[in-house]
Structure 1
Amino acid sequence: MKMINKKIVVLSLAVITLCVQCKNVDPKKADKTNKEEIIALKEDKVVLPDSIRTKMPKGTSIPEGMVWISGAEFLQGAVPQDKIAMKHEKPAHKVAVDGFFMSTTEVTNDQFAKFVKETGYITVAEREIDWEDMKKQLPEGTQKPHDSILQPGSLTFKRAKSSLPNLYDFSQWWRWTIGASWKHPNGPGSSIKGKGNYPVVQVSYEDAVAYCNWDGSRLPTEAEWELAARGENLEAIYFWGDDVADLNKRANTWEGEFPVVNTKMDGYERRAPVKSYPANSNGLFDMAGNVWEWTTDWYNTNYYKEQGALNQVTYNPTGASNPFTENNPYAKEKVMKGGSFLCSDSYCASYRVSSRMGSSPDSSLEHLGFRTVKDIK
């Protein structure tokens, strides 16, 4: 499910959508006591440094609403048995990630409302559109659209009335909705009243970062997110294992013919309250489905291929140094993870742990939110 650039959507009223900043493992810092680990990695001539934080230091308190994620080395990316993995999820490559704290749920409407109340923050979707700023990011010569279009708003989902033969045309189910925002996620007629425990959506990357700055947290890297989502199942397709039959009991996704009919076998047609489904082995809820989640990594369609070619472990990777989307040279996107209530077995299936997509940092959508992480002080 390719994500979308708000600026291009505003103009067209349709959805359009290496250098690696990683510190490589220093063999001189290898843990000399772990002989089996060293032997296992000897073929790649790389060993883990002894500074990988796997356990929470004694005396450390867990921040409220968070859990400890143990550091580990693992293969980031598609597992061999995943037959529908996309090219940008391959090849799986070795990474080593320090332990950290992660919020057990996506940030909720109540939590975001408290942030807005205390700071007076105005989200990107609520701000007036500046044409002079917008046109800098568009092809030269792009004509200014009518003022009736250049109004604050965001992207909302609309069901199709009949079967769609072409699922590559995203404008068939996405529309630019003036007045859509985190307070009105489906448009002016919608509300979050009584939905304080639902994940906040219609928040851009900038909005999410602003929340984190206020909260004393940060967004996760893609590698951190994947490690946290996998939990004990480091080699599985889904966070619970390889059996897709458990999907409607484990996640809020689209069931039925997309985007025409949602049978709601999982109990919800759109967003669900956080903690509506079982947590993974790390105690994290909604690491599959419900809403996509922002990460800090630039989305680069070549990044996994370049990482795989290094044939070595990368330590606390932060992703590609530059954004790159193969089919859109103007795109500058951030990686999002986890899939959403719009993911189905016939379209994207992004409730798989390795699934990754990109979205423009200035874009907000009704199925995109975020969760936070904190480091050991």
Structure 2
Amino acid sequence: MKGVLVFLLFAAFAVLGACSNSASASGEREGGARKSLLDSFDLASMVPVYALGESVTLGTDDSNALAHARPAMQVSFDYDYFIGKHEVTCAEMGKDCGDSLPAINVTYYDAVLYANRRSVAEGFDTAYVYTGAMFDNEGSCVNLEGLVFLPAVSAYRLPTEAEWVYAASGGWKPDSGWNADNSDYRAHEVCSAFIDGNGVCDMAGNVMEWVNDWYVPFRKEPVADYVGGIDGGVLGERVVKGGSYRNSAASMHLYSRGDIYTVTSVSKAEYVGFRLAFGPIRSPMWLNRDGQQKSIIVSILANSMDMRHELGTNKVKIAFRDDETGKLAFVDYSGDNPRVVEIDDSIEVYHPDISPDGNRVAFCTGLEGVSGKSSVYVRTLDSIGSGLVKLDVENAAIPRWRVLESGDTVVVFVTDAGNNKDESAFRQASTWQVRFSEGKFGEPEKLFDGAYHGGISRDGKLAVSGARLLRARVSGHDTLWYNGEQACNASLSRDKSKRTLFLDFAGTTGRKFVGEDYATHEVILFADSTGTLERFTKAPAPYTFDHTEWIYGADSLVVATLVDVDGAHRKVVALNAFTGDVLEMLGGEELWHPAVWVNAYDRAVVNPDLDIDSAGVYFTPQMEFYGLELRVKMEYFWKSRDSVTAVVLGSSRAMFGVNASYVQSEKLLNMAYSSGDIFGMEFLTEHYVFSHLPKLRFLVLEFSPDFMWVTENSSWNSIYENSPGLRYDESHGFWVDSLPKGFETLVEKSYKARPGQMLPYSFDEFLLPSGGWGEPSVSNDSTLFRLDLPAVVNNMATLEKLVGEARARGIEVVLLVTPQNPRYAKTGAYGVYGVRRSVAQELLERAKALDVLFLDENKMGNHDYKSSMAFNTDHLGREGAKQLSERLDSLFRATRK
């Protein structure tokens, strides 16, 4: 998002009408008498918005609008709030960029941290909590681990999209704000243009603004107190509003929700800032991707990268009971981006356990420690919980998966999970197992008397139970452990160690072993196969533990819930039984009975000398979106390296303009990515292409004159510095001798989100639909681009060096000039970034003079690419990519003859 090479997908919007709203923001209270919570606060630079009882329209039903802004959705307010009079300034944020100018180049996380700082400075609580922060080399926050938004807190925060639109609707006049027609393509002092009747300025234009919401599609039905999506989908998309000094007034709309690229929490740009809001939202309502309302959400506090670091793989799943709804929910970390999925069913769910293959979940309808009717079910762990089957027995509880020495998979269950303190009652229940295969239960078989629902060892010689007493069955003999004191939440490890963990009630035995007093359930105790205590782990303050279980497939790790002082099960954590390290995974109101599955096979197929936190990790959530495209291309590179004969490098113009499916004469690999520049071309060519493509015949380099002014800081340094995989490869000589075992597996399974709804292409083909050339917009001052600048000299020298190195290896170099809007031929600019045509022509002549094959498909605008072949002003659609690719193919054929 930073620099001039951002992926310009949506530069030419159609001129559409503004959306209508049922009411506008007003500083006047109805009848002048209504009291408001806002009357209790006197906040500098904030304007009260009396929205209680009012509504606003988000989005639009206009068929010409972009899909992510449709349909229109009505949002009502049950509260008032404050909105910032203007965008937060450089002076307010402590940035050295002009006191009264809006603070720009800020990530969503930067805005959140500033909101918290101002809340604390003025004596308020904070609206955002998190467990850790990460910053890049420029001081921007690129990750807030475990970030949770607390809407009910009276604190400074970012406005919701609904709040922003309602406040902006009071005076939406893009023509009167700073826009591309009057701004000289730069930000201006806040409130130096239009100020609406309520005292709010710069809602339209100057700089685009972060709002608080995760992006989620709207729905047609109305919503009250809408606060965005429950998460950002597979990509983690955020909403930005308002347009900027780079946009024409005609292209600014209240309903617009994004920018010219995908926006995530780590995105930043010189034309994006933010303003604050203040005030509690007592009854917030989120939407999920299916348009369902959620008044309480479960927050994911750890991402796939965290799982890979702590558990050795990101093939991890968590299933749990959402006690607020009584339903089964799960998170799949092996997917592109983890999100909470709740299975909509009326069946009560307790004690879920994930199958050894990770595909199914068993659960029961009864609760440990409570006698009574209970049934056991198994269902597929998918969004609808398909394949539901019920075990046909009178009573069954606390199911646990087990793999027998024969290789058969069984479900162990007990006939009653009640309190085991009474000996006779415990003996009346029994422990059973039943084979499960191809989605069906077999015939149950009784194992022994006694309800041993804490687990059975692999060899069947040890079973445990803990629901008031810690009972054990050792080699066929029943015994009582822990000196007969109270215990619960017992879990027997599923490896060969036969370790048992449990919670207690701070009894004498436990206090003596720990060496100090502690609260009930504050300590997890670990016993060996004989019941002898061997270690303990204390809960992080101020929590206690509940629902403790060994993690299947990770011998030393335990999953548990953390319970606060009010008895609420607030977090799901993984902890190391040996080190005591804690990883917070989920946060919510009432999270019960978590079960974690880890793919143990993934942990075994990789060379143990490889650092799984770095090897093959070419993209992290802290990187700009174009780093994700390169991560995808690196996976393709390693998979196809032995057969590639032609490779393409460049920016999004080449990424969408050349497609391997239309090239028949060569095995082509397109490694271009959005914002790909000469620095990325050089790094990838010298360290990967030259070293690992033994059959390479053609090196295709995009040559775009308007990209010759970039520096390493424009985009490449951001990729390199935030890509552990690139730097790890570098520290290992880029694997020129050989790849270690499992390296390609790590690349394939490393973090990779997929494009969300706001992107019109997929990673499977990288082709865009037809959108037309549109207007030949220009986004920069053309006087900035001079041929005598050092960047031009250095970049042309780098290009010449690459050409020479390739030719020395017997590789033909093709310099490819991709087509842009032909209507630029009638302007003074070469293309969208504003380079003068005469300057661009000079650079083209210099490039043509190199020892290369020169394929100029732009011809200074005099080309034959019809509007139906284009996606926008400088990117080809599918039909255009076909024509360009086939012409490149013809060049390959002619050169080979």
TM-score by length of 2: 0.23
Residue of structure 2 aligned with 1:290, choices 206, 216, 237: 206
Residue of structure 2 aligned with 1:252, choices 174, 178, 185: 178
Equivalent in the alignment of 1:373: 277
Aligned-partner Cα distance in 2 for 1:199–1:220: 17
Superposed CA deviations along residues 320-349 of structure 1, whole A, max 9, x for unmatched, are 22324xxxx6x3221011111111257xx1
Determine if the alignment matches structure 1 residue 354 to structure 2 residue 255.
yes
Equivalent in the alignment of 2:486: none
Residue of structure 1 aligned with 2:159, choices 216, 220, 232: 220
The answer as to whether partners of 2:58 and 2:74 remain within 8 angstroms in 1 is no
User: Structure 2 unaligned runs (5+)?
Assistant: 10-21, 23-33, 120-155, 282-897
Identity of aligned residues (%): 31
Alpha-carbon deviation of 1:16? 8.2
- Secondary structure in 2 matching 1:208: helix
Q: Which has the higher strand share?
A: 2
The answer as to whether partners of 1:205 and 1:362 remain within 8 angstroms in 2 is yes
Equivalent in the alignment of 1:314: 223
Equivalent in the alignment of 1:204: 107
1:269 partner letter: Y
Aligned-partner Cα distance in 2 for 1:58–1:370: 22
Residue of structure 1 aligned with 2:41, choices 49, 61, 72: 61
Change (3 A) 1:79 1:112: same
- Secondary structure in 1 matching 2:68: helix
Residue of structure 1 aligned with 2:89, choices 90, 108, 114: 108
Alignment of 1:128-277 (within 5 A): 183=96, 192=97, 195-216=98-119, 217-231=156-170, 239-240=172-173, 247-248=174-175, 250-255=176-181, 264=182, 267-277=183-193
Aligned-partner Cα distance in 2 for 1:292–1:67: 19
Aligned-partner Cα distance in 1 for 2:38–2:168: 24
Alpha-carbon deviation of 1:210? 0.3
Equivalent in the alignment of 2:319: none
The answer as to whether partners of 2:107 and 2:266 remain within 8 angstroms in 1 is yes
1:196 partner letter: D
The answer as to whether partners of 2:59 and 2:73 remain within 8 angstroms in 1 is no
RMSD: 3.0
The answer as to whether partners of 1:252 and 1:268 remain within 8 angstroms in 2 is no
- Secondary structure in 1 matching 2:157: coil
Alpha-carbon deviation of 1:280? 2.1
- Secondary structure in 2 matching 1:319: strand
Superposed CA deviations along residues 82-115 of structure 1, whole A, max 9, x for unmatched, are 78533222221121122101110000000000xx
Aligned-partner Cα distance in 1 for 2:236–2:113: 19
2:55 partner letter: F
Alignment of 1:26-41 (within 5 A): none
Aligned-partner Cα distance in 1 for 2:114–2:63: 37
The answer as to whether partners of 1:73 and 1:94 remain within 8 angstroms in 2 is no
2:166 partner letter: L
Alpha-carbon deviation of 1:75? 3.8
Equivalent in the alignment of 1:37: none
- Secondary structure in 1 matching 2:40: coil
1:337 partner letter: K
1:211 partner letter: Y
Aligned-partner Cα distance in 1 for 2:214–2:93: 24
Residue of structure 1 aligned with 2:244, choices 336, 340, 351: 340
Aligned-partner Cα distance in 2 for 1:83–1:289: 24
Equivalent in the alignment of 1:130: none
1:223 partner letter: A
2:102 partner letter: P
- Secondary structure in 2 matching 1:283: coil
Superposed CA deviations along residues 135-169 of structure 1, whole A, max 9, x for unmatched, are xxxxxxxxxxxxxxxxxxxxxxxxxxxxxxxxxxx
Aligned-partner Cα distance in 2 for 1:55–1:78: 31
Superposed CA deviations along residues 218-264 of structure 1, whole A, max 9, x for unmatched, are 11111111111112x6xxxxx14xxxxxx44x111112xxxxxxxx3
1:299 partner letter: Y
The answer as to whether partners of 2:38 and 2:48 remain within 8 angstroms in 1 is no
Greater Rg over alpha carbons, structure? 2
Aligned-partner Cα distance in 2 for 1:335–1:211: 18
Change (3 A) 1:83 1:104: farther
Equivalent in the alignment of 1:89: 69
Change (3 A) 1:95 1:55: farther
**Higher relative contact order at CA 8 Å, sep ≥6: structure 1 or structure 2?**
1
1:69 partner letter: V
Aligned-partner Cα distance in 2 for 1:64–1:314: 31
2:91 partner letter: D
- Secondary structure in 2 matching 1:254: coil
Aligned-partner Cα distance in 2 for 1:361–1:63: 27
Aligned-partner Cα distance in 2 for 1:83–1:343: 21
Aligned-partner Cα distance in 2 for 1:67–1:58: 10
Aligned-partner Cα distance in 2 for 1:58–1:371: 18
2:191 partner letter: K
Aligned-partner Cα distance in 2 for 1:88–1:268: 30
1:229 partner letter: A
2:89 partner letter: T
Aligned-partner Cα distance in 1 for 2:35–2:184: 37
- Secondary structure in 2 matching 1:213: helix
2:71 partner letter: P
Change (3 A) 1:64 1:332: same
- Secondary structure in 1 matching 2:210: strand
- Secondary structure in 2 matching 1:275: coil
The answer as to whether partners of 1:62 and 1:101 remain within 8 angstroms in 2 is no
The answer as to whether partners of 2:104 and 2:269 remain within 8 angstroms in 1 is yes
Change (3 A) 1:319 1:203: same
The answer as to whether partners of 2:56 and 2:165 remain within 8 angstroms in 1 is no
Aligned-partner Cα distance in 2 for 1:374–1:318: 14
- Secondary structure in 2 matching 1:297: strand
Alpha-carbon deviation of 1:57? 4.1
1:251 partner letter: G
- Secondary structure in 1 matching 2:76: strand
Aligned-partner Cα distance in 2 for 1:251–1:93: 26
Alpha-carbon deviation of 1:62? 3.1
Alpha-carbon deviation of 1:58? 8.0
Aligned-partner Cα distance in 1 for 2:63–2:168: 20
TM-score by length of 1: 0.52
- Secondary structure in 1 matching 2:229: coil
